[in-house]
Chain A
């Protein structure tokens, strides 16, 4: 059974259609890259999967781990094992990173019928997870994303992913605005979280990140549809030729 199965997904924002029939199957253990030019709908797809209320699904279906994803609130999707690393992580002044992460971790455990972790046990877990993004413990006392640099915010998303251990992680333009060192740290972090039980969808405009997180499949979105799918070599082809040849093909189709 596929972990994620998207069938003929149509979605709109303010009655303006953005996704026009996306179909995609992702199995456990796979890494899929979704690429496309600006405004193609790739970030919308990420947000629809995470449950953003600004988007209306007008047709199609999504099943996740055998359940109807569109029937679930955003937090229920997190409980079921779906995680979105935001393109623009949200600042929450007044809440420490450690407190925030523990709340999220325990809400997910509670939803799965597991015992909550107390602050001391959680701290031990956190110490392990901090290594994934090469961070010291001082980051945990800072307010969530508040005053963080662009690179720190993206690292923090990967830290959250490491702690929450999702079945499916969607990285929405996690590479945008990162310098090469931050990109390496983020990519290494993601790679340590790969596994046969887990799947990753990397949404990106550029091929650069895919040198570090090597995908099994590459899909190109244009005009709210997948216009081309292929292996990792498709990303290289896009790097060379740009998106023009595919988007014009889509217009003709």
Chain B
């Protein structure tokens, strides 16, 4: 091994760099690798990562995924939604056309694997990939630029309303053990167009692996995107995800993020407003147990006047698990009439669970309405007593109240098929957490 191999992920980066590449993609990878070499894995001294112990990632060796055993479509049925929705399936980071569903796409809706879009010389990919989410945003966006393998490309033409949601399913199997999976998404919704997107990270293995994923989203003027992000990785896995959303005037972005997997999972969602009357709605639910760590970092850059943002994140924590919530709202000097509200509520089911919640409002305009609230608590004793007097005691009451706590934010999932599926999933997990 040469000297550079002591740098984390050096082998994987070198392998990617050695593959045949030219032009903008080679430049992107090289710049990402250089940036990552400069930054390295963050430590607790880095404010952005203070409560998120990613240090061990730098000491572990992750390889490329091994050859996956062939998967039957039925193996994916617990994770797939809808009937005939356009779907890209990645197994251990690699696009599997036989499991994907890309036939009979509606007019004006392009859905392909990202690698195919790049190979086809799709100009929109070059225009956005690595430019919406840049390598200098976090060390992991740099690592993604250097190493991403495949993923999803979606483009909805101006004025087109996609008739069904589009989904990405990234599934890990035993072949992912000790490997890094590096999916990437480029999602472009044209002016006056509408799309619903379901982005899922799921597992068929209990192995340790590392998913480092980046989603780049661009919404044209008056475009709408309804985005559901589901993170159900192996509870031994590491997951770092970064979603960058660029919004033109009058556009509407709505995300619901469910996080219930991973030994350590971090999700950054950042939005930038490029025009007036933009709306950003962020909802999320994280459920943790054992020694899991779930971290949500939201950042809304209110750079234009008359824009609204609304955030509700809730967490239910059992055992020795931990959650981190950091909600940044940055209101530029010119962003008058900004209306921003952020809520973070955490329910602790044990004495040893812990939450670090940090609302972070930086406001430079004077005519705005910005509020935030963060709570960390246990089940409400008055509600418990009320239930007891109606014959509902013990675990039953705990389960009902815990579900009630989560249900409020689950109700924000707009796709009925997704909501029904996730409600059953969350119900089951909450029953496990309270038993």
Contact = CB atoms under 8 A, between A and B. Distances in A.
A94 B391 contact: no
B386 A104 contact: no
- Most chain B CB within a 10 A radius of its CB, from A50, A52, A92, A108: A92
A111 B383 contact: no
B391 A92 contact: no
B92 to A, nearest CB: 38
Contact of A94 (B386, B387, B405): B405
A164 B392 CA distance: 12
A90 interface: yes
A84 interface: yes
A52 B396 contact: no
Contacts of A51: 388-389
B392 A92 contact: no
Interface string B381-403: 01101111111111011001101
Interface in B268-293: none
A84 B389 CA distance: 7
A95 interface: yes
A65 B393 CA distance: 21
B391 A79 contact: yes
B404 A75 contact: no
Contact of A73 (B383, B388, B408): B388
A141 to B, nearest CB: 12
B392 A103 contact: yes
Interface string A9-48: 0000000000000000000000000000000000000000
A92 B408 CA distance: 11
A79 B403 CA distance: 23
A241 B394 CA distance: 47
Nearest to B399: A103
A75 B391 CA distance: 4
User: Main secondary structure on chain B at its contact with chain A?
Assistant: helix
A137 B125 CA distance: 53
Interface in A59-112: 73-79, 83-84, 86, 89-90, 92-95, 100, 103-105, 107-108, 111
Contact of B393 (A74, A84, A143, A164): A74
A75 B389 CA distance: 5
A52 B384 CA distance: 11
Given A52-B385, A74-B385, A90-B386, A111 B391 contact: yes
Contacts of B393: 73-76, 107
Contacts of A52: 385
A53 interface: yes
Given A90-B382, A94-B406, A94-B407, A107 B401 contact: no
A160 interface: yes
A94 B403 contact: yes
A83 B389 CA distance: 7
B396 A95 contact: no
Contact of A92 (B388, B389, B401, B406): B401
A83 B388 CA distance: 11
A77 B403 CA distance: 25
Contacts of A73: 388, 393
Given A74-B385, A92-B383, A103-B396, A108 B403 contact: no
A116 to B, nearest CB: 12
A95 B403 contact: yes
A111 B385 CA distance: 18
A218 B228 CA distance: 61
Contacts of A84: 389
A142 to B, nearest CB: 13
A75 B392 contact: yes
A78 B391 contact: yes
Interface of A: 50-53, 73-79, 83-84, 86, 89-90, 92-95, 100, 103-105, 107-108, 111, 143, 160, 164
6 contacts: A51-B389, A78-B391, A86-B389, A90-B386, A94-B408, A104-B387
Those 6 A-B pairs whose CB atoms lie nearest each other, nearest first: A75-B393, A94-B404, A74-B388, A104-B390, A78-B391, A90-B386
Interface of B: 382-383, 385-394, 396-397, 400-401, 403-408
Given A74-B388, A107-B392, 11 more contacts: A74-B393, A75-B397, A78-B389, A78-B390, A90-B386, A92-B404, A94-B405, A94-B406, A95-B407, A103-B390, A104-B390
